[in-house]
Structure 1
Amino acid sequence: MAVVSVVDLTAGPGVGFLPLVSLGPAFAGLVGGWRRTALVGLAACVLCVVLGLYSGLFESRRGLTALLSVAGVTAAGVVASVMRQRREAELASVRSIAEVAQRVLLRPVPRGAGPLRIAVSYTSAVAEARIGGDLYEVVTSPAGVRIIVGDVQGKGLEAVESAAVVLGAFREAAHDEPDLSAVGQRVERALNRHLSGERFVTAILAEIGDGPDATLLNFGHPAPLVVRPDGAVAYAAPPERALPLGLTLHGSDAPLPHTVPFAPGDQLLFYTDGVTEARDAAGRFYPLDECAALLKEPDPETALRSVREDVVGHAEGPLHDDAAMLLVRFRCA
């Protein structure tokens, strides 16, 4: 507004810069509240009157036209500001609800359980999203520490609802059932009661007790990565592939539990396919088995953060799928 005033005084009344004073309330309506916009608009109207009288514009219709232009833009700016503030309030409310839903659905995992240290990372593919279709949980039960990491088919609220069913069933079954296969059967039954059509959930269940092994039960999920103290890595693949949760109606056999040595100094990295399917500009998938050096960090959370940053760096931008990782480290004695 000051610049327009200077230009208008310098160029003279014949050029017709005075209506550009309305840019003040226009920009105020984009970034400020309605009160601020109204005050800026009032100042613009006063400035328009003063400059119009100084230049003698009100002796013709030009002065009145300029004043009406400023007043009209001010009114439009106030309306736009009110609508924008309402949308911002609604968005803040939605985000607050999403944060509460996340705390219920994906509760913070314990940082430690017996000799285990645990860290988790979750990256949503949707900008500003708090929750998605990937799931994880850690439960301390009489049989040991039980873990689930999974990926729901599809996106949106239906995926979140399926994830909630799986996590709710797992939290109850992990405390009650004597073995991991029974936990998987409980989750399967709960999911079949809620799913419709061909929807399914890939998941891997793990049980780590007092023995030297970790027991795994894989429902069509990517095999976890085992990292040894000397840097050796291997995927803990199941002896036979099994269908995901929710597809037992097709008559397939339930997966069989298998064990993997898990001793002090070892690490288990659970993940969803959003990690391994992250592509670079050349279309190459992320080489997860080459991240052992990143997992040498003494703090598991720092180590997992380094892997996450490496995945995002490999993709050279936002990920196109939800990506969850859960790192379990057996502390050395």
Structure 2
Amino acid sequence: MRCRQALVFTLPGLWVVAVVLCELLRPLGTQFTELLAATPAIACAGTGRRQCILLGGACALFALLPVGPSGHTGAGTRAGTCAAILAVIVASYLTTGRRRRLAQELEHAKEVATAAQHALLRPLPDRLDGVALAAGHLAAGRGGVGSVGGDLYEAQSTDHGLRVVMGDVRGHGLPALATVAALLGGFREAAHDEPALPGVLRRLDRTLQRHLRDRADQTEDGAAGGAGEEFVTLLLLQVGPGGEITTLNCGHPWPHRLTPTGAVSLAPGDPLPPLGLFPLPAEPPTTALGPLRPGETLVLHTDGAEDARDAAGAFFPLTGVLAETVHTAPAGGLTPAAVVDRVRDALLRHTGGRLTDDAAVLALAPAHDRPGPAALPAPPPRPALARACRRA
């Protein structure tokens, strides 16, 4: 990386030296001095710094001094080359200023989009309704607004139990982020209002359809703008008072269950189609995953965690990483935060930090009730206070 940066900085000077050497060693009748006019443009394309552009232009002008066989070149030719160099310097200088302003605007837009995503994907509390929680998210891309992800997750403590949603919006960028905002807002309301999971799913489906219609109305080509191609994979999960787990799956990957002996990928049945593609059935079927026992951890994730590839094209071994996490767990047992951190670190190592799709991981486990501090014995009463109590 450093060698590449050094080459970029020295390239304008190397270009000038190469032109001068060609001019000195040229055969009769060939001229290379006109190529000096490209020096400021090379500096502009390479470093993008105005100081380098001015320095490269100065070197190109200095190289016009008559040396060797080029000293017999006509004054008109050298004057024309000098004018061309000055013109390229001015154009490159102005172009660099515009590029800097555009880069600053892009950086500002990236900061705003990232802040909006952090506001939407709020950190989960460490514990809700006796369940320990942790979640993490990695957005695809290498920076810019397009790297804002379309994954979503949330957990709400309700009168009906702990309710969790994990979803994946098709696409990236600000349109996907707007869909994430609409669905999270709908879930935070429906999770408390609806007594059963199918009611929550129907509310989310109506929220998505309304959001897509509003977005289509706001765009000039809304009818053909791809709104009908938008869909969301979704997994709704409820942990009842007794620890029993009920789910509703709309095209989303099933979770993994971590036990003291290893990791198991759950696949209790075929999921429903993703939201936005087909109407929901009149009674969406729920699936029971059994109780969440002490010592077990349930890991929810988006398909970006399974479909991530390394440089050789190999998929990320999510089940293997989870199994290794169980086998290398400390004596005190796993925590959801440790599981999420382990998966995130392994995913970044596997992909070299360049994900092609967003990835989100959420882990939940029965919380360990820690006994509070023992009550201290009451201090013996002071003699004066004891005597006053006896007289009373």
Given the alignment of the two structures, is residue 304 of structure 1 paired with residue 321 of structure 2, yes or no?
no
Given the alignment of the two structures, is residue 126 of structure 1 paired with residue 141 of structure 2, yes or no?
yes
Q: Which letter does structure 1 place at the counterpart of 2:209?
A: N
Q: Which letter does structure 2 place at the counterpart of 1:152?
A: V
- Cα 1:211–1:57 shift into 2, 3 Å: farther
Aligned to 1:103: 118
- Of 69-78 and 312-321, deviating more is 312-321
> Match of 2:262, SS?
coil
- Contact map agreement 1:212 1:262 (CA 8 A) in 2: yes
User: For 1:39 and 1:322, how far apart are their aligned partners in 2?
Assistant: 43
User: For 2:207 and 2:175, how far apart are their aligned partners in 1?
Assistant: 15
Aligned to 2:224: none
Aligned match for 1:330, one of 353, 366, 371: 366
- Cα 1:282–1:45 shift into 2, 3 Å: closer
> Match of 1:187, SS?
helix
User: For 1:103 and 1:3, how far apart are their aligned partners in 2?
Assistant: 46
Q: Which letter does structure 1 place at the counterpart of 2:288?
A: H
Aligned match for 1:70, one of 85, 99, 106: 85
1:84-233 matches, within 5 Å, as: 84-113=99-128, 115-128=130-143, 129-154=146-171, 157-195=174-212, 197=228, 199-233=230-264
**What does the per-residue CA deviation read over 1:212-243, in whole Å, with 9 as the maximum and x for residues that have no partner?**
323322233221111112325241625x6433
TM-fit CA distance, 1:132: 2.8
Identity, in percent, stands at 35
User: For 2:115 and 2:349, how far apart are their aligned partners in 1?
Assistant: 30
User: For 2:174 and 2:42, how far apart are their aligned partners in 1?
Assistant: 37
User: What is the total number of aligned residue pairs between the two structures?
Assistant: 330
TM-score, normalised with respect to structure 1:
0.78
TM-fit CA distance, 1:256: 2.1
> Match of 1:254, SS?
coil
User: For 2:294 and 2:338, how far apart are their aligned partners in 1?
Assistant: 19
> Match of 1:255, SS?
coil
Q: Which letter does structure 1 place at the counterpart of 2:259?
A: R
Instruction: Let me know the Cα RMSD of the aligned residues.
Output: 3.8
- Of 39-48 and 188-197, deviating more is 39-48
> Match of 2:141, SS?
coil
TM-score, normalised with respect to structure 2:
0.68
- Contact map agreement 1:122 1:325 (CA 8 A) in 2: yes
User: For 1:232 and 1:64, how far apart are their aligned partners in 2?
Assistant: 77
User: For 1:286 and 1:6, how far apart are their aligned partners in 2?
Assistant: 49
User: For 1:236 and 1:264, how far apart are their aligned partners in 2?
Assistant: 22
TM-fit CA distance, 1:267: 0.6
Which of 1 and 2 has greater Rg?
Answer: 2
- Contact map agreement 1:44 1:70 (CA 8 A) in 2: no
User: For 1:107 and 1:150, how far apart are their aligned partners in 2?
Assistant: 15
- Cα 1:286–1:255 shift into 2, 3 Å: farther
TM-fit CA distance, 1:175: 3.1
- Of 163-172 and 281-290, deviating more is 281-290
User: For 1:281 and 1:310, how far apart are their aligned partners in 2?
Assistant: 14
TM-fit CA distance, 1:40: 2.4
Q: Which runs of 5+ in 1 are unaligned?
A: none
> Match of 1:269, SS?
strand
Aligned to 1:276: 306
Aligned to 1:266: 296
Aligned to 2:357: 321
Q: Which letter does structure 1 place at the counterpart of 2:190?
A: A
TM-fit CA distance, 1:67: 2.4
1:240-251 matches, within 5 Å, as: 241-246=271-276, 249=279, 251=281
